[in-house]
Amino acid sequence: MKSTKNLLVGFCISLIGSLPLGYINLIASEINQKRGSEALYAFLLGVVVVEFVLILLTLQAAEWLLAQKKMVRNIEVMSIIFLIFLAISFFFNSKPIQGTEPSLLTNDFLTQYSPFTLGLMFNAINLMQVPFWAGWNLYLINESYIDMGRYRKYWYVIGTSIGTFSGIYLFVQFLNYLLTVPIGATPAASQWIIPGIFLLLAAFQTYKFYKKYR
């Protein structure tokens, strides 16, 4: 019963955390558009492998990680810089949409490596998930929502992995549906879609940073 509870708690938190707009979701959508569903599954598997290891580590060191306020602040700054870097990279390495087939943009970088490798790479540098999972894990342990006895923690981590896979997959399918709806965007304007979203994410993270540390 406790193992099942761990599994469900991990699944629900990870599913909800994966649904909002983020750069992993956007890159997953790009890979699905360019390389198909099999490549998407491989990419998500890479993402999940990194997250599995990360959550196991943060389960053991959650309290210590949250106490490192300077480190957490530096991670937040680096995440903002990384989002800006992604916006610039996608803009200068993209081409306007051509033809009638829906697509966001074309980025050569996403075709140079295997989807599984891309999943490992992009999630390994997703630094914001460290304080996110450290905070959640500490809360769930302190409030007895998950049981850390014996091997039950692995059921929790398996649940988070399934939730992340499912959440990003649902996001990709929803975005793919939106791309089939005619919006009258010109090819030149479509080149700005992904970079613009990354810049908006960076602006949002900057606002949260300012509110938190002002």
Residue 146 above 70 pLDDT? yes
Predicted pLDDT at 160: 93
Average pLDDT over residues 158-163: 93
pLDDT tens, residue by residue, 84-116: 766 676 666 555 444 444 444 445 567 778 899
Instruction: Calculate mean pLDDT across residues 148-169.
Output: 88
pLDDT at residue number 99 = 46
pLDDT digits (tens, 9 = 90+) for 185-200: 444 445 566 667 667 7
pLDDT of residue 130: 76
State residue 102 phi and psi, 5-degree precision.
-65, 135
Closest CA to 145 of 160, 125, 130, 131: 160
Return left, alpha or beta for 149; rule: phi > 0 is left, psi -120 to 50 is alpha, else beta.
Answer: beta
- pLDDT given for residue 65 in this prediction: 60
- Is residue 147 within 8 A of residue 2, CB to CB? The reply is yes
Q: How far is CA 156 from CA 25, 36, 119, 159, in A?
A: 22, 30, 21, 5
User: Is 95:106 a contact under the CB 8 Å cutoff?
Assistant: yes
Sequence-distant (≥ 6) Cβ neighbours of residue 143 within 8 angstroms: none
- Please name which of 133, 128, 160, 134 lies closest in space to residue 62, comparing C-alpha atoms: 134
Q: Are 137 and 65 in contact (CB under 8 A)?
A: no
11 vs 77 pLDDT, higher one: 11
Range among 15-19, 27-31, 98-102 rated most confident = 27-31
Enumerate the domain spans of the chain.
Answer: 2-213
pTM of model > 0.85? no
Q: How distant, in Å, are the alpha carbons of 109, 120, 148 from that of 101?
A: 21, 29, 49
